[in-house]
Chains A and B, each alone.
Chain A
């Protein structure tokens, strides 16, 4: 089936929107456990594509081990981030030192990848070889990955003890610690889980975005938009915000094209934040003064 204009907007927009949503969830998971906005989220997405290509194409490993090694690698990066960029600044959250520390780690990841991997986009393997045209797997794999992640998080947070513990730490980490919850270990686990979800975004979107070091900065930027639109810590908001962003961005590409598409995206972003500063799905918190 040939690409029609509407079809192209929808399939590419939804696919990219799903990737943005997953990066938004990555931001949220790290934030919920630590109250830190870690700017390594986009780099985890980039690493998902690069490691996937490294294991599957360059090292020639089968698909399943490549996938699992990619997830494990990004989980390790998530944990390392917690140790070296988050934990040391937790005592001074009000000084926002985490902006510098997490950005520094993000830059290190980017530079090492550029030197050791390539600064040019590299091929990403065809995963299953399913579909063609607008039904090509490159378009629906990110959407499927996003749906599975949302379902898994819902199940974990509603049905499992560890999920409830995550929620408790997210709600009030001092109270959670007072109740005997291993807050530090839960925070490490959260960063590992965020690494896995970031990796999944890059791996599922690899056929569309390729294994490219510049994806890190791109995803950091566009992955933050659904978080701001949907409300900080709101995974459902991030999914809706991400999908809306993807479709709007692709529609803007068709209507105005080139650099103007990015301008259009950020005009809408600013307008939404002016109208609802807490995000579309966020809630304002009372603060005692």
Chain B
């Protein structure tokens, strides 16, 4: 067999390519950028939270890199748009683990996606932070790598129940949700919680979020003697129609519940601004104006620094703050433990009162719900300014 000069040259070049990709790769990875995976629903259904988190993440990555990175290494955010689709989220997770080889993953941001991706990440021992609320997503024995960096649905539920029973001092509630899996589960949990605390649940129903007139359900709740309506739905259209139907019945019953009740979309769908009065939504102390119209000092300081750099007009402040916390927390963990997965998980397992912007996080080997329950409060839904809300009436 004869080898021409051209074949020799091509073969040598090929070998050099393989060597640089395969053999020199790990060395480059040690000293190259730190890759952090970001799985967010940035388009399609339920993309509003993803867009908010994304703004916070990008701002924080720029800030960390601008300050010299983590021990001189730059952070690279590897983003995949999951569109709220569990299949796309699973594919992106596998790509992050097997191909991109990220140090840690933030997301997904929808519980439906996280239910599909969490076991995959657990098998790969991939450090994972996520803000999804479904309770079963956190189980340190099954998923020792997954940490929740936001409240669970139980914590939302506790805050809503506390506000109805202890602050509004009412005993008869109607609990409603939409017909999605989340709406059904959240309604069931909420009903059980109210009954456990001795309240009377006078009406409960799953409502089709697309039905154009909510008067039938509102009439039934009124006739049942409800003193407050607890609503669990991400549908802004359903919320607006409920508020319009309440106005049509001249009934001033308060609504308490899911953060979507305070979404800016609701404000554009209600017939008149007054229809949005007496609606109280889950919010957080870090994102609440007090009676004097002031935000907590830590939040205000951040907003002053980020002024003009992050658009807060059409998003919620907590999404942005949580995104910033994720990057800063990961940077701190990598600075302490390096990029190896077990080290990062060990770091998170020992985290106590880490002072984030969104809240102070504490995790342990047996508790991966890191957000403090007393930080979850209710806000006046129609008071949004830069993504923050006024504290609902009754808080000291």
Interface residues of A (CB under 8 A from B): 2-3, 5, 8, 12, 15-16, 114-115, 119-123, 133, 208-210, 212, 214-215, 218, 250, 253-254, 257-259, 261-262
Please list the 9 inter-chain residue pairs (A to B) with the smallest Cβ-Cβ separation, ordered nearest first. Answer: A121-B237, A253-B216, A12-B213, A254-B216, A119-B45, A258-B205, A123-B268, A208-B212, A8-B215
Inter-subunit contact A214/B43 (CB<8 Å): no
Per a CB cutoff under 8 Å, which of B208, B216, B236, B250 touches A120?
B236
Chain B residues, Cβ within 8 Å of A115: 43-44
Inter-subunit contact A210/B269 (CB<8 Å): yes
Interface string of B230-264 (1 = CB under 8 A from A): 00000111001000000011100000000000000
A121-B212 contact in complex given A114-B44, A212-B237, C-beta closer than 8 Å: no
A262 to B248, CA, bound (A): 24
A250 to B211, CA, bound (A): 9
Interface string of B297-334 (1 = CB under 8 A from A): 00000000000000000000000000000000000000
Inter-subunit contact A119/B213 (CB<8 Å): no
Chain B: CB-nearest residue to A15: B212
Per a CB cutoff under 8 Å, which of A120, A121, A258 touches B206?
A258
Inter-subunit contact B46/A119 (CB<8 Å): yes
Known: A2-B250, A121-B265. 11 other contacts (CB 8 A): A3-B248, A8-B215, A12-B215, A120-B265, A121-B235, A121-B237, A253-B213, A253-B217, A257-B207, A258-B208, A261-B211
Chain B residues, Cβ within 8 Å of A119: 44-47
A258-B250 contact in complex given A123-B269, A250-B213, C-beta closer than 8 Å: no
A261 to B210, CA, bound (A): 13
A246 to B217, CA, bound (A): 17
**In whole Å, how far is B375's beta carbon from the nearest beta carbon of chain A?**
27
Chain A residues, Cβ within 8 Å of B250: 2
Instruction: Say whether B219 faces chain A, with CB atoms less than 8 Å apart.
Output: yes
Chain A residues, Cβ within 8 Å of B179: 258-259
**In whole Å, how far is A44's beta carbon from the nearest beta carbon of chain B?**
17
**In whole Å, how far is B243's beta carbon from the nearest beta carbon of chain A?**
13
Q: How many A-B residue pairs have CB under 8 A?
A: 74
Inter-subunit contact A8/B213 (CB<8 Å): yes
Chain B residues, Cβ within 8 Å of A210: 237, 269
Interface residues of B (CB under 8 A from A): 43-48, 179, 205-208, 210-213, 215-217, 219-220, 235-237, 240, 248-250, 265, 268-269
A208 to B213, CA, bound (A): 8
Chain A: CB-nearest residue to B271: A126
A218-B210 contact in complex given A12-B215, A119-B47, C-beta closer than 8 Å: yes
Chain A residues, Cβ within 8 Å of B213: 8, 12, 208, 250, 253
Chain A residues, Cβ within 8 Å of B219: 5, 254
Per a CB cutoff under 8 Å, which of B48, B207, B268 touches A258?
B207
A241 to B220, CA, bound (A): 28
A276 to B248, CA, bound (A): 40
Chain B: CB-nearest residue to A215: B210
A114 to B45, CA, bound (A): 8
Chain A residues, Cβ within 8 Å of B206: 258-259
Q: Which of A5, A209, A253 gathers the greatest number of chain B CB atoms within 10 Å?
A: A253
Inter-subunit contact B217/A120 (CB<8 Å): no
Per a CB cutoff under 8 Å, which of A2, A122, A209, A257 touches B216?
A257
What are 13 A-B pairs at a CB distance below 8 A?
A2-B250, A12-B213, A12-B215, A114-B45, A115-B43, A119-B45, A119-B46, A120-B237, A120-B265, A121-B240, A123-B268, A218-B210, A258-B205
